[in-house]
Structure 1
Amino acid sequence: MPPAKKRKTAPSAQVPEKQAERDPKEDSAAPEQPDAEKTTADDTKYPSPPPAKPEAPASSTTSAASSAAAAAQERLARFRALQARAKSSSDQNLKEATRESQRLATDPSQLTSLNRKHAIASHKLLKADIEEAGEDFERKRAWDWTVEESERWDKRMRKKEAHRDDTAFKDYARESEKAYKRQLRNMGAPDLERYTREKMAAIEKAAAAGTLDIVETEDGEMIAVDKDGTFFSTADSTAFAQHKPDKAAVDRLVADLRKAEEASLKKRRERMAKNGDDGGDVTYINEKNKQFNQKLARFYNKYTAEIRESFERGTMV
């Protein structure tokens, strides 16, 4: 049996001695491994973590947070203001609607009647108190009025009584006079400046034409004498036909005529409605026949309505 082979082992204590026995020249001559290769080899085994991002400064972060908070506060304040505005608008609308409903529910005639009754009751109560004290009511009440106010009041009362007495029909001449006065009131105040201007222009034109002479009387008064009657109108004058009114005067006249026509038509409709005539077709020849037709219509119109409509359309055979 062959002998077993022996292992060649080096003692652990000799390794550092051999390393120490190495020539220092060889160590200096051997090139050292660059650091890049070492790091590359190490990185392949254990990869290094990614580099951290540079942190922002603390001052910029604080300012951004404060601006965002300020913007949020501003939006919240605007929202609160809009809420308050909407609430006030709704409250105001509710108040106006309530006031409008109360105004529509209140009868103006009833309110006027209540005010009149209250004034009459106050007057009677004051009169009773003054007479109870043994004083003159009219004399005491007159202390609150001046002489001018009292005279205006008496004039107003006399005019009111005269108007009340004049409302009834007396004769056609009086009615025409009242209509004429009413038209004068509606016409408005005259334009005196324009009248004076047109008068002076007419005088100058007549004087330039030689038809008007200025004569001085014995007392020194200056008067104008019209030779042929073109300036001062007489029974034979025709100069008024050459006058042309302005557009405003013509429009006022047309409006007055239209208003009179509308009033006449309104009175006619009221008169016809009062007599039972609705303004439709005339189907009667006298008042008796009219009453008879009305009686027939009252009883039979609901049965003959379709027949009459067919006759009017022309579809009845």
Structure 2
Amino acid sequence: MSSADVDGGAGSSSSQPGLLGKNMSAKEKYAERMKKLRDLHMKRNEARKLNHKEVVEEDRRNKEPKNEEARKRRAEYIVKEEELKAACLAAGKDWEIEKLRNLSAEDAEALERRKNSKQNPDSGFSNFEQATFRKYQGLVKQIKPDMNHYESQKDKMGEAFYATSGSVVQGKQKDSADAISRMALDVQKQKEKREKFSRRRRHDPDADIDYINERNMKFNQKLERFYGEYTKDIKDNLERGTAV
């Protein structure tokens, strides 16, 4: 066997741990182990740097506001939109038309829904003026106009139909019996609705008294409302005296 064959066998054995002690000298084995140790140290240091970088980045994200990413996307969108707007104006194009051309049907529908949701928002009761106005809007939406009657009244009254500060309209228009009946029926419905609604619930004299004061009564009512269906059997057994 030639020396080249021996060297070739030694070179191939460096990648085979099983033949490491057979074909390599002690110096070569030491150098190979040191090389592997240096590789492990380099990988460990690299992993430590990456881990530290991720920790720093996570700490930065935690310290940022929760809507920071949304604010960044919004800022990028505004900058991009301003650039497109400037380009359209420089080219002599209408920016609103160009913007609608690049808007998809889904985005247009979502934009329309958001716009409609902001119209006439019901913010609850704030004062009697706004409550009365909302009531008026609800009643107006229920009205179904009779266009034939509208046109006939318009021809009959002439200029007085669109009354001004100096117009005399007394005696020129008379409410129909059907309109008076509808108004009376609506007033009666409102009255019945108000009678049914009451913030303070009426006292039931036939109900069992299981409270010592009004505050305790409210607390027991809340317990019954939330846990009554789960404790009904226990309560019945206690009343019958059969509870274990």
Q: Which TM bucket (shorter chain)?
A: 0.3 to 0.5
More helix by share: 2
TM-score, normalised by the number of residues in structure 1: 0.27
Bigger-Rg structure (1/2): 1
